[in-house]
Chain A
């Protein structure tokens, strides 16, 4: 009876959060395979044909520094299909100041038996096409496309793998999670070539599978860590 007298809707005690990834190039949305893109810093002409990620270790840091960890939440993001990640209904309603996740997996998962994952699980190799078979381990980020090399359309392939190339992404800024919301995460794909290290496929290599590459994959991983940012935080139905 006492509750029914209060007309204000009650805020949920716990909420979930959808993460929606938006690929951008020079701050504009683009089409995979179709658009030729000019990299501002390097002036290279680029096309993306693939950008797939395995994400793990999601964490939310609240304004009082408490940490909400999503230890069993993995995500396979196929950027081409504008995928959404759902962080489960375990987030105490409140204000947060940071979202963290890894591009890649902890070693124990990276080298686990890939046959154990159910169909539809982000780590199922049939779903993600990111497992290197019996040689072991996953590709954490598979980035592919073409560039103009002396006027010739030439493929580039950057596959970031190996335990040491697991990469932390830290997004900082106020997040008011007092209700069910979708957080847009913008991926500035041109920063793969420029965020921290300048990478020009023709000069620095157009091909890496993370070994014997003079540190190219490590540089790409570093660039990736600085290529994501917050977009809008949008209310939605539970």
Chain B
């Protein structure tokens, strides 16, 4: 006998994953996809109006890798978000658009976006589905009209079938394009297979240098005492290695890019940019919103001694980075301490993101 609890679960599964196709009254069946949440990760709050299905994810993957989304069919999302570079732009500081235009921010890595909010460096996009359509229409990127993309897709049997499989009809709209891209990007995960994750699972051990690195990472700034601290964890703590906040980390005292301030118009938001995840740093150089640092050594040097204490709206959490000490100001980490932090950061490298067939180009 089936208990009522299991019967209700079964019933809700059917309700969630099927709807009636109005044209022929046949139920439209999709296959629910369960996000493989890495051990130790918090539970994500997934959008209730875009439940993951294998069909929509497949459609999203097709769209992500298809240059048909751009004006001249020369660029796809993956042109600037290459899985071999942690879904960033092939080591480039800035990305080049279809007509040769150069952008002014570094391409952000795409992983663990199911836990993220306020997308883009300046947090301008409240949802991933909206973010997904922005580069298509951006005149310095793919420079295409999303309505025109929909028209082009309608002429492709591959897509009429894929939209039909995902949504139960072959109607192709900008909203559906955004939803499918949202689904594909939400399932790109980094976690579970890095050395850090294996150490957490008790399968491996840190080297002494990496151990020193994690201790510095998690210790508060202490430039005048011992042990020292690199104070990374306030913005990059937790298994996601990001607070997902939008803050000013003191890169500049005069802003050429207003960041969030350019979105909100508030002076108090000037210079604020999204805190990126530190997972897969080895793949995602150069660093910062404008790609100003080529190496992690440069990044550590900045945080060690070059944070601008007079930067307007400097995040209060950065106060540990501007403390005075005998030789100047900052964290006062010596070279071996900085190298230890980098050694630890490199344990966050996750080769799975490069090789997982779920994420790869379906046209190859």
Binding site for B on A (CB under 8 A): 33-34, 49-50, 114-121, 124-127, 129, 131-135, 144-146, 152-157, 206-207, 209, 211
Contacts and interface: CB of A to CB of B under 8 A. Distances in A.
Given A115-B43, A118-B43, A209-B220, 17 more contacts: A33-B313, A49-B316, A115-B40, A115-B41, A115-B239, A117-B43, A121-B43, A126-B44, A131-B237, A132-B233, A133-B237, A133-B238, A135-B233, A135-B237, A144-B317, A155-B318, A157-B319
29 contacts: A33-B268, A33-B313, A34-B266, A115-B39, A115-B41, A115-B42, A115-B239, A117-B42, A117-B43, A119-B44, A119-B46, A125-B42, A126-B44, A126-B115, A131-B237, A131-B238, A133-B233, A133-B237, A134-B200, A134-B239, A135-B237, A144-B316, A144-B317, A145-B316, A152-B310, A154-B319, A156-B319, A157-B317, A207-B319
Contacts of B312: 153
B239 A206 contact: no
Contact of B244 (A34, A126, A145): A126
B76 to A, nearest CB: 29
Given A126-B115, A133-B239, A134-B239, A155 B42 contact: no
Interface of B is mostly: loop
A152 B310 CA distance: 8
A117 B41 CA distance: 10
A129 B319 contact: no
Contacts of A155: 314-319
A134 B196 CA distance: 12
A146 B313 CA distance: 9
A207 B221 CA distance: 10
B318 A125 contact: no
A30 to B, nearest CB: 13
Contacts of B244: 126, 129
Interface in B272-319: 310, 312-319
B319 A132 contact: no
A139 to B, nearest CB: 10
Interface of B: 37, 39-46, 115, 200, 218, 220, 233, 237-240, 243-245, 266, 268, 310, 312-320
Contact of A207 (B37, B115, B237, B320): B320
A126 B316 contact: no
A133 B310 CA distance: 30
A153 B315 CA distance: 12
Nearest to B45: A119
B45 A126 contact: yes
A157 B37 CA distance: 33
A114 B42 contact: yes
A126 B310 CA distance: 30
Contacts of B220: 209, 211
A116 to B, nearest CB: 8
A134 B244 CA distance: 17
A134 B194 CA distance: 16
B45 A124 contact: yes
Contacts of A121: 43
A145 B200 CA distance: 34
Contacts of A145: 316
A126 B239 CA distance: 10
B214 to A, nearest CB: 9
A207 B231 CA distance: 13
